[in-house]
Amino acid sequence: MKKLAVVAFGGNALLRAGQKGTIDEQETNAFEASKNLLNLLNRNYNIVITHGNGPQVGNILNSDQAGHILHGLPLMPLDICVAYSQGFIGYIIEQQLRNVLAANDLDRDIITIITQVLVNRDDPAFEKPSKPIGPYYSKEEAEKLMKETKSVYVEDKKRGGWRKVVASPRPLVISNKKSIEQLARNGQIVIAVGGGGIPAFYVEPNKLQGIDAVIDKDLASSLLAKQIGADKLFILTDVAKVCLNFNTPQEKSVDKMTIADARRYLAEGQFAEGSMAPKIRAAVDFVENTGKDAIITKTTLLGIDDGGTRIVIV
């Protein structure tokens, strides 16, 4: 019986630092990222792909704002922007992965599922926005935008610049998880929970409604991996391994990390919020609840022996 892996692409798998975000750039990046999935397919894995949308959903919001100011178009709520990003990112990944499979004489159906994720509208995250989205700005630009749009921007000192932050409530229930699992176990490649999923809540019994938020894609990926009984969770980022004392002369990469170690490092503040910290929490959540491994690594090391940092029970 084939093993089942959930592979969480970061937003930088499609849009990298310093790029403008053209579709040509994102298609090229998606093709390169998709080539690395061959390592898992050749190791007898079935695959569910999830992905981030931080850069893209921020750009969608900026375009929406410009259309409102210049042409009087109605502003779209954030849940609609997330749905928009799910559709076009899913399309790009699906198309480029088809190109990779065809070039390697492989035949699989690839199915993108627009995924809603239930959240609690009373989640404290709505009182304290923390999820960074969109491009980086100078302090002066951020202050101007905060005044004009009433949005919240925070400084990322490590990467240099100010970035918009929005609420990031904890995901509770993944919609269509049974279908996602069935399709994947039948050998189809499924793309789901894009951008952490479209945040929704019950405004009253039996009535779902979207809400302004961006769910952390790593936590949503971990939840999905648990709910479909995945054998392994891969969280892809822009570094080969998790590092302690990151970006300092004492920087040290970690090959294997127990969940006890991970919690201790989180408490020490080793991992930045909006960057590595949510990835570590997502990995710990999956490992603790399933007893199976999670791996954090860069896209090019996906499925490579000793590639990345392995999070384990003990």
- pLDDT tens-digit map of 175-231: 999 999 999 999 999 999 999 999 999 999 999 999 999 999 999 999 999 999 999
User: Residues 157, 103: one domain?
Assistant: no
Residue given tokens 């699906």 in the structure block: 94
Bridge partners, 207 (sequence order): 204
* Residue 309, φ and ψ in degrees, nearest 5: -105, 125
Given CA atoms 18, 28, 273, 243 in this order, what sign does their dihedral have? Answer: negative
- Quick one: pLDDT at residue 59? 87
Nearest to 298 by CA among 12, 41, 2: 12
Give percent of the chain above pLDDT 90.
76
Q: Is residue 99 part of a domain?
A: yes
Same domain, 174 and 160: no
Residue 13 has pLDDT above 80, yes or no: no
**What mean pLDDT value characterizes the chain?**
93
pLDDT band of residue 303 (cuts 50, 70, 90) is confident
Q: Are residues 240 and 105 in the same domain?
A: yes
With respect to residue 47, please indicate whether it lies within any of the assigned structural domains. Answer: yes
**The token pair that represents 147 in the structure block:** 């005044």
DSSP label at 89?
H
CATH number, domain at 106? 3.40.1160.10
Q: How far apart are CA 19 and CA 29, in angstroms?
A: 11
Structural domain harbouring 146: 131-166
Burial of residue 71 (number of CB atoms within 10 Å: 0-12, 13-18, 19+) = exposed
Q: Is residue 70 part of a domain?
A: yes
Query: What is the distance between the alpha carbons of residues 178 and 155, in angstroms, rounded to a whole number?
Result: 40
Average pLDDT over residues 22-49: 94
End-to-end CA distance of the chain: 27
The answer on 111 and 145 residing in a single domain is no
Helix 217-227 and helix 177-185, axial crossing angle in degrees, nearest 10: 70
pLDDT cut 70: percent of the chain above it: 99
84 found inside a domain = yes
Q: Please determine, for residue 25, whether its predicted confidence score (pLDDT) is greater than 80.
A: yes
Residue 126 lies in a domain: no
Low-confidence winner among 12-21, 41-50, 88-97, 194-203 (lowest mean pLDDT): 12-21
- Residues 184, 202: one domain? yes
pLDDT at residue 67, as a whole number: 92
Within-domain flag for 230: yes
Q: Is the pLDDT of residue 307 over 90?
A: no
Are 248 and 282 part of one and the same domain?
A: yes
The number of domains in the chain is 2
Question: What are the tens digits of pLDDT across the range 243-287?
Answer: 999 989 999 999 999 999 999 999 999 998 878 999 999 999 999
Q: Which amino acids are annotated catalytic?
A: 11-12, 131, 217, 279
Task: Among 140, 166, 192, identify where a domain stops.
Answer: 166
Please give the Cα distance from 258 to 238 (Å, whole number). 22
- Say what the pLDDT of residue 249 is: 94
State the CB neighbour count (10 A cutoff) for residue 121. 14
Residue 25 in tokens: 């750039």
| CA atoms of 6 and 47, how far apart (whole Å) | 6
Is 150 in the same domain as 187?
no
Cα dihedral across residues 227, 228, 234, 238: positive or negative: negative
| Cα gap 42→49, rounded to integer Å | 16
Q: What is the pLDDT of residue 238?
A: 85
Over residues 77-90, mean pLDDT: 95
pTM for the model: 0.91
Indicate the Cα dihedral angle 90, 88, 217, 235, nearest 10°: 50
Say if 154 falls within a structural domain: yes
From 143, 166, 189, the end of a domain falls on: 166
Gyration radius from the chain CA atoms = 19
- Please determine, for residue 157, whether its predicted confidence score (pLDDT) is greater than 90: no
Q: Which of 139, 166, 193 is the last residue of a domain?
A: 166
99 and 192 share one domain: yes
Indicate whether 64 and 202 sit together in one domain. Answer: yes
Specify the range with the lowest mean pLDDT, choosing from 14-28, 35-49, 72-86, 275-289: 14-28
CA distance 296 to 183: 25
Query: Which pLDDT belongs to residue 136?
Result: 83
In this structure, are 268 and 184 located in the same domain?
yes
**Whether 109 and 221 share a structural domain:** yes
**95 contacts 67 by C-beta, under 8 angstroms:** no
* 204 and 92 fall within a common domain: yes
Task: Check if the beta carbon of residue 28 is closer than 8 Å to that of residue 99.
Answer: no
Q: Which two tokens stand for residue 303?
A: 């499925």
